[in-house]
Amino acid sequence: MSLEELLVSTADKVWKGKRVTGLEDLLIDHLVRASPPGTERWEAYLELDSLLARIADGADGRLTFQAAHPIHVRRTA
């Protein structure tokens, strides 16, 4: 899975307030490889975990807002 695919998958889950450990672990592996030499895995984990926790914390409000504004598709014959 590419870094872009991992980012999109992780963002989709976290936006909805879900945390998927296996997916996040794969993302951390990519981030460590792309980081400056000497970056420890735990450092990347702490940074990512903090960011994802802040995003996930707002999920209930986002989902409530989204549910209050459903998309109606108009079908034409």
Quick one: pLDDT at residue 1? 83
Mean pLDDT of 48-77: 90
Distances in whole angstroms, Cα of residue 17 to Cα of each of 11, 46, 54:
10, 18, 10
* 1-12 pLDDT per residue, tens: 888 999 999 999
* 18-61 pLDDT per residue, tens: 999 999 999 999 999 999 999 999 999 999 999 999 999 999 99
Mean pLDDT of 14-19: 95
The percent of the chain in helix, strand and coil, each rounded to the nearest 5, is 70, 0, 30
The rounded distance, in Å, linking the Cα atoms of 49 and 28 is: 10
Q: State yes or no: pLDDT of 68 exceeds 90.
A: yes
Quick one: pLDDT at residue 8? 95
